[in-house]
Structure 1
Amino acid sequence: MTSITSVELNYLVFRYLQESGFTHSAFTLGYEAGINKCTIDGSLVPPGALITFVQKGLQYLEMEANLSNNDAEMDEDFSFLQPLDIITKDVNQLRQMVKEKRKNIQKDRNKDRDKDKDKDKVVEREHEGERGRIREKERTEKEKEREKEREKEREKEREKEREKAESNKEREKQPEELAYRDMVLDQEDKDVARHEENGTLAGPEPMDIATTSTLASQDACEIHSSEVTILEGHTSEVCACAWSPTGSLLASGSGDSTARIWTISDGLFKSGGKNSPLNVLVLKHVKGRTNEKSKDVTTLDWNGEGTLLATGSYDGQARIWTTTGDLRTTLSKHKGPIFSLKWNKKGDYLLTGSCDKTAIVWDVKAEEWKQQFEFHTGPTLDVDWRNNVSFATSSTDHMIYVCKIGESRPIKTFAGHQGEVNCVKWDPTGSLLASCSDDITAKIWCMKQDKYVHDLREHSKEIYAIRWSPTGPGTNNPNQQLVLASASFDSTVKLWDVEQGKLLYSLNGHRDPVYSVAFSPNGEYLASGSLDKSMHVWSLKEGKIVKTYTGNGGIFEVCWNKEGDKIAACFANNTLCVLDFRM
Structure 2
Amino acid sequence: MTTPASITSNELNFLVFRYLQESGFTHAAFALGYEAGINKTNIDGDLIPPGALVTFVQKGLQYVELEANLDNEIKDGDDDFSFLQPLDLITKDVNELQRIIKEKQDKLQKERSAEKERRDKDREKQEKDKLEKDKEQEREKDKEKQHKDHKDKDVVELHEDNKPKGKSNENSGGPEPMDTSPAESGAFEIRNSEVTILEGHSSEVFACAWSPTGSLLASGSGDSTARIWMIPEGPCGSGMLPPQVHVLKHFKGRTNEKSKDVTTLDWNGEGTLLATGSYDGQARIWSKDGELKNTLAKHKGPIFSLKWNKKGDYLLSGSVDKTAIVWDTKTWECRQQFEFHSAPALDVDWRNNVSFATCSTDNMIYVCKVGEGRPVKAYAGHQGEVNAIKWDPTGSLLASCSDDGTAKIWSLKHDKCQHDLRDHLKEIYTIRWSPTGLGTNNPNQQLILASASFDSTIKLWEVEHGSLLYSLNGHRQPVYSVAFSPNGQFLASGSLDQCLHIWSVKDGKLMKTYSGGGGIFEVCWNKEGDKIAACFSNNTVCVIDFRM
Counterpart Cα distance in 2 of 1:362 and 1:405: 10
Question: Does the 8 Å contact 1:257/1:290 carry over to 2?
Answer: no
What pairs up with 1:400-549 in 2 under 5 angstroms? 400-549=365-514
Counterpart Cα distance in 1 of 2:527 and 2:189: 23
Residues 279-309 of structure 1, C-alpha deviation per residue, up to 9 Å, x if partnerless? 0000000012366652000000000000000
Counterpart Cα distance in 2 of 1:160 and 1:554: 21
How far the C-alpha of 1:227 sits from its partner, in A, is: 2.3
How far the C-alpha of 1:408 sits from its partner, in A, is: 0.5
Residues 29-73 of structure 1, C-alpha deviation per residue, up to 9 Å, x if partnerless? xxxxxxxxxxxxxxxxxxxxxxxxxxxxxxxxxxxxxxxxxxxxx
What pairs up with 1:187-206 in 2 under 5 angstroms? 191=162, 205-206=176-177
Question: Does the 8 Å contact 2:168/2:467 carry over to 1?
Answer: no
How far the C-alpha of 1:269 sits from its partner, in A, is: 2.5
Counterpart Cα distance in 1 of 2:328 and 2:299: 15
Question: Does the 8 Å contact 2:166/2:471 carry over to 1?
Answer: no
Identical pairs, percent = 72
Counterpart Cα distance in 2 of 1:150 and 1:422: 34
Question: Does the 8 Å contact 1:442/1:463 carry over to 2?
Answer: yes
Q: How many residues align?
A: 406
1:285 to 241, 250, 258: 250
Pick the structure with more helix per residue: 1
RMSD value over aligned CA atoms?
A: 2.7
Question: Does the 8 Å contact 1:257/1:293 carry over to 2?
Answer: no
Matched to 1:370, the amino acid is R
Question: Does the 8 Å contact 1:255/1:293 carry over to 2?
Answer: no
Q: CA separation of 1:150/1:439 partners in 2, compared to 1, >3 Å: closer, same or farther? A: farther
Question: Does the 8 Å contact 1:255/1:291 carry over to 2?
Answer: no
Residues 176-219 of structure 1, C-alpha deviation per residue, up to 9 Å, x if partnerless? xxxxxxxxxx9799749x5899999xx984111226322xx34x
Aligned partner of 2:113 in structure 1 is none
1:158 aligns to 2:156 (yes or no)? no
Counterpart Cα distance in 2 of 1:474 and 1:197: 31
How far the C-alpha of 1:159 sits from its partner, in A, is: 5.9
Question: Does the 8 Å contact 2:499/2:513 carry over to 1?
Answer: yes
What pairs up with 1:62-461 in 2 under 5 angstroms? 152=144, 155-156=147-148, 158=150, 191=162, 205-210=176-181, 212-214=183-185, 217-218=186-187, 221-267=188-234, 269=236, 271-272=238-239, 276-289=241-254, 294-461=259-426
Q: CA separation of 1:566/1:291 partners in 2, compared to 1, >3 Å: closer, same or farther? A: farther
Counterpart Cα distance in 2 of 1:159 and 1:482: 37
Counterpart Cα distance in 2 of 1:455 and 1:385: 22
Question: Does the 8 Å contact 1:558/1:568 carry over to 2?
Answer: yes
What SS does the aligned partner of 1:409 have? coil
Give TM-score, length-normalised by structure 2.
0.70
Question: Does the 8 Å contact 2:404/2:427 carry over to 1?
Answer: yes
Residues 375-396 of structure 1, C-alpha deviation per residue, up to 9 Å, x if partnerless? 0000000000000001000000
What SS does the aligned partner of 2:286 have? strand
Matched to 2:217, the amino acid is L
Counterpart Cα distance in 2 of 1:533 and 1:572: 9
Counterpart Cα distance in 1 of 2:301 and 2:441: 38
Counterpart Cα distance in 1 of 2:336 and 2:151: 61
What SS does the aligned partner of 1:212 have? helix
What SS does the aligned partner of 2:518 have? coil
Counterpart Cα distance in 2 of 1:336 and 1:547: 40
Structure 2 stretches of 5 or more lacking a match?
1-136
Residues 225-255 of structure 1, C-alpha deviation per residue, up to 9 Å, x if partnerless? 3321000000000000000000000000000
Counterpart Cα distance in 1 of 2:160 and 2:195: 43
Q: CA separation of 1:332/1:443 partners in 2, compared to 1, >3 Å: closer, same or farther? A: same
Question: Does the 8 Å contact 2:521/2:534 carry over to 1?
Answer: yes
Residues 326-362 of structure 1, C-alpha deviation per residue, up to 9 Å, x if partnerless? 1111111000000001000000000000000000000
Matched to 2:376, the amino acid is I
Q: CA separation of 1:159/1:312 partners in 2, compared to 1, >3 Å: closer, same or farther? A: closer
Residues 478-537 of structure 1, C-alpha deviation per residue, up to 9 Å, x if partnerless? 110000000000001110011100100001100000000000000011000000000001
Counterpart Cα distance in 2 of 1:503 and 1:427: 17
Counterpart Cα distance in 2 of 1:484 and 1:523: 11
How far the C-alpha of 1:545 sits from its partner, in A, is: 1.5
Larger radius of gyration: 1
Structure 1 stretches of 5 or more lacking a match?
1-144, 165-185
Counterpart Cα distance in 2 of 1:516 and 1:484: 13
Question: Does the 8 Å contact 1:435/1:442 carry over to 2?
Answer: yes
Give TM-score, length-normalised by structure 1.
0.66
- Structure with more contact order per residue of length (Cα contacts < 8 Å, sep ≥ 6): 2
Counterpart Cα distance in 1 of 2:158 and 2:532: 40
Question: Does the 8 Å contact 1:435/1:444 carry over to 2?
Answer: yes
